[in-house]
Structure 1
Amino acid sequence: MVIAELHRPKNVKTLPNVLSKEETFKLIDLITNIKHKTLLALIYSSGLRISEAINMKIIDSDSQRMLIHVKNAKGKKDRYTLLSTKVLVLLKEYYTIYKPKTFLFEGQYGEQYSSRSAQSVLHKSAKKAGITKQITLHTLRHSFATHLLENGSDLRYIQDLLGHSSPKITMIYTRQQHIIEKHYQSIRYAANIFIFVLHN
C-alpha cells in the first residue's frame, strides 16, 4: 500500500468546558483574598487570557470609558475589552490595599504575578464551590464568551472583545449544546406564533 494513499484521521475538535453563570459567580465570591478575587473576576468579566491579565499595567484600565486596554496580545495586537463596574470597585479596593507599582498584579516581592499561582487559586476555589468539571483559567474566558452569546450579543462583537483574528475561532461557542437548545427554542417559539396566526 502506498503511504500517500492513507487517509489521515481528522483532528478531533472538542468543545471547551464552560461554567454556568451561577458556578462562575460562586467560584469568585468564595475567594476571600482581594487580590485573588480581583484577578479572577477581571479575567472572567473582560474575557482575558491569563497572560494578558498578568501583563496588565495600572494605566491599562480606563475607568472613564469603562474599558480595558489589552496591549501586545496574541498576534502582537492591541484591543479594548470591557471593564465591569463591579470589577472596578474590586480594583479600587485592591489597589488601596496592595498599591502595585509596575504590573497591576504583583507577587509577594513586587515581581510579576505568576500564572501558576493564579491557576492554584482557581482550583482551590473551584473545589470549595463544589465544581467537579476540569477547568483552567482559560475556562473563565470561554465562559465570558458563552454568557455573552446566551444574552444575545453579536458574534462579531464577541470576536472583537476576545481578540480573535477570525470569526471561525469565535464560532466554536455556537456549538455549545445549551446555545443550540436555546436557539431551537426561539425557532420553535416563532414557528408556533406563525402557526397560530395562520389559524386565526
Structure 2
Amino acid sequence: MEIEQNLTEKGQRDYKLIRRALDDSDQNAYAQLVDNYRDSLYYTMLKMSNNPYDAEDLTIEAFGKAFKNLRQYTPDYAFSTWLFKIATNNCIDYLRKKKKIAGTIQNKKNPEQDEITMKLESQFRDPEEHIINKEKIVLMREVVEKLKPHYCKLIKMRYFDELSYDEIVQELGLPLGTVKVQLFRARDFLYNILKNSREKI
C-alpha cells in the first residue's frame, strides 16, 4: 500500500485506517477514525450550533456522510480536512433550515393568542391525528424489527429506550467508537428500509 508522502504523520495514519476500512471492511478502522476526531469535531459543531444536542447529532451525521462517501476521499489532503469540510457544510445547511423554519413559525404567531392557542391545541388535539401518530410509531417499530438483530438492538437502545452512548457502551461492553460506527450503519440500513416503506408511513 503506497502512502502519500505529502501527508503528515497523522494524515498517513488516517490513510492507513481508510484503506483498511475500504479494502478489508475493517470495523475497528472505522471506530479508530471516529475516536481520532470525535471530540474535536463535536466541539466544532457545538461552537457553530451553540446547542449540545444539535452538536451531537451533527457530529454523527458528519461521520455518517464521510463514511458513506469514503471512496471519494483522495489523499491529496488530510482526511481531517475533508471530514471537517463535510461537517461544517452540513452544519451550515442545518442552521439555515432551522433559521428558515423558525422565521416561518415566528411570522405566523399572534403574540396575544399564542399562549391560549398552545393550551387549546394540547387539550383538544384531533383524536384522529393521535391515532395516526400511534400507527406511525407501531409501523416504525415493525420496520426496525427488519434490521439484523444487532442493529435492531442498537436502534432500540438509542432511540426507543433513549440510552446515552455511555450507557450503551456499558450495556454492550464495546468501545465507544465501535458503538458509534455500528449505529451509523444501523441508521443507514433503517433509512433505506424506510424509503421503501414511505408510502405506508
TM-score of the two chains, using structure 1 as the length reference: 0.25
Q: Between Structure 1 and Structure 2, which shows a larger proportion of helix residues? A: 2
Considering Cα pairs closer than 8 Å and 6+ residues apart, tell me whether 1 or 2 has the greater RCO. Answer: 1
Q: Between Structure 1 and Structure 2, which shows a larger proportion of strand residues? A: 1
TM-score of the two chains, using structure 2 as the length reference: 0.25
